[in-house]
Homo-oligomer: A and B are copies of this chain.
Amino acid sequence: MQPLSVTLGDRSYPIHIGVGLLDDAQRYAPYVASRSVAVVTNKIVASLYLERVQRALEQAGARVVPVLIEDGERAKAWGTLDRVIDALLAARCGRDSLILALGGGVVGDLAGFAAAVFQRGIGFIQVPTTLLAQVDSSVGGKTAINHVRGKNMVGAFHQPLAVIADVATLDTLPDRELRAGIAEVIKHGFVLDPQFVDWLEANIGKLLARDRTALSHAVRRSCELKAQVVAADERETGLRAILNFGHTFGHAIEAGLGYGEWLHGEAVAAGMVMAAELSVRTGTLRREDADRVAALIAHAGLPVRGPKLPIEQYLELMQVDKKVSGGRLRFILLEGLGRATLRGDLDPRLVRESIAAAVQ
C-alpha cells in the first residue's frame, strides 16, 4: 500500500503502515545504508523485536548500536537522555549517524529528543510498536522529556525521516495499552472527523478484539488526520492545538498521580470527558453529543472519570500546561462531534464544575 505523507517542504516524510514491515530491509535502506544507527528501545520491546530489526538494518548496510533504556514514563528524564547521548558518543556515532526509536511513545519521545539535540541534531526514524505511538506520538515531530513540574516541559520539534508502523506488533501489546492507544484514535475522531466517530462507534468491538483490518484502518485514518493538521501548523501556533483535546485535564491527572500511574491514554480519556463536560457548560456542545463522547470512551474500556484529587490540585497542575498564554488557561472545546476549537476566555467556575462533575 502507498505510504501516507506528512507534507512539510524539505522535511516531508512517509508513514508506512502494514503487516511485517519490521523485517523489511528495503524499507530502511534509503536512510541507513553505511551509517551508524543507534536503536533506542527498552528491555521488553528488545526481547520481542530487537533481533529482527537489527538483522534488517544490517542487511540494509547499517552499523547497529543497540541502546537500552528503562521502561515506562520515568525514562523521559535528563538521566536517560544523558545515557543515550553517552552511548552514542561511546560508540563513536557522529553527526551522520541516525537514531531509530523502537517502541512506544516513551521511547519515541525520548529517542526523538536525543536525536534533536545530539550534536545539534541528527536524523531519526520512528518504528512505533504500540497503538498509541502508531496513531499519534510517532507522527508530527513532537519530542520531549518530563520535568518534575510538568510533563513534556523540555523538548523539541524534530521531524523523523520516516515512520514505519508494523501493525503486527500490536499482537503483543497488553490489553491496557491497546485501550490507551484507542483513546487517541477516538480523540482524532472527536476533533476532526464525524464519520470516523460513527465508524468507531460501530467497530470499537473489533478494535478491542485486535481485528487486523480494523486496526489497520484506525491507524491509517488517525495518521491521515494528524498528518493534515501537522502539515498546516507544524509548531502548534494555532490549529495543531486541537490535537490536545482532553490533554490539559489529562496532564493534570498524570502529574497529580505521578507519571505512569495512569497510562497517558487513560488520563486523556477521562480528560476528554471533562473537556466535553466543559464544552456543554460553556454552551458549545449539546448534552447528547457529550454523552456520546463518554459512551464511546466507556465502550473502549477506558476511564470516564478522573481520579479523586482536590479540584484545587487539578487547577494548580493545569497552570503549567504549555497552552497557558499570558497566565490564562486555554482549553480545547468541542463544537460538535468532529469539530474542535481553542478557547482562552472561560469562566474559571465552569472549569471547576466540569472537573467536579467528572471525578470519581
Residues of A within 8 A of B (CB): 34, 78, 82, 85-86, 89-90, 92, 94-96, 113, 116-121, 142-144, 147-150, 152-157, 235, 319-320, 322-327
- The residues of B that contact A156 with a CB separation of less than 8 Å are 116-117, 120-121, 156
Whether the Cβ atoms of A144 and B120 lie closer than 8 Å is yes
Known: A121-B156, A156-B121. A149 touches B90 (CB 8 A): yes
CA distance A119 to B237 in the complex (A): 13
Known: A154-B118, A155-B117, A157-B121. A94 touches B147 (CB 8 A): no
Number of copies: 2
CA distance A327 to B121 in the complex (A): 18
Whether the Cβ atoms of A86 and B147 lie closer than 8 Å is yes
Whether the Cβ atoms of B149 and A86 lie closer than 8 Å is yes
Interface residues of A, dominant DSSP: mixed
- Counting from the closest, the 7 A-B pairs by CB-CB distance are A89-B149, A94-B324, A120-B155, A119-B322, A117-B154, A78-B78, A95-B322
A-B contact pairs, 18 of them (CB 8 A): A78-B82, A86-B148, A89-B149, A89-B320, A92-B324, A92-B327, A94-B325, A95-B325, A96-B326, A113-B117, A116-B156, A119-B153, A120-B142, A120-B155, A120-B235, A120-B322, A121-B157, A121-B235
- The residues of B that contact A121 with a CB separation of less than 8 Å are 156-157, 235
CA distance A94 to B319 in the complex (A): 9
Chain B's nearest CB lies how many Å from the CB of A173? 28
Q: Please give me the residue from chain B that is nearest to A34 by CB atom.
A: B326
Pick from B85, B96, B142, B152: contact of A154, CB under 8 Å: B85
Known: A86-B147, A147-B85. A92 touches B154 (CB 8 A): no
CA distance A358 to B251 in the complex (A): 57
Whether the Cβ atoms of B89 and A150 lie closer than 8 Å is yes
Q: Please give me the residue from chain B that is nearest to A63 by CB atom.
A: B327
Q: Please give me the residue from chain B that is nearest to A82 by CB atom.
A: B78
CA distance A147 to B82 in the complex (A): 8
- The residues of B that contact A96 with a CB separation of less than 8 Å are 325-326
Chain B's nearest CB lies how many Å from the CB of A121? 7
CA distance A320 to B119 in the complex (A): 10
- The residues of B that contact A118 with a CB separation of less than 8 Å are 153-154
CA distance A144 to B94 in the complex (A): 16
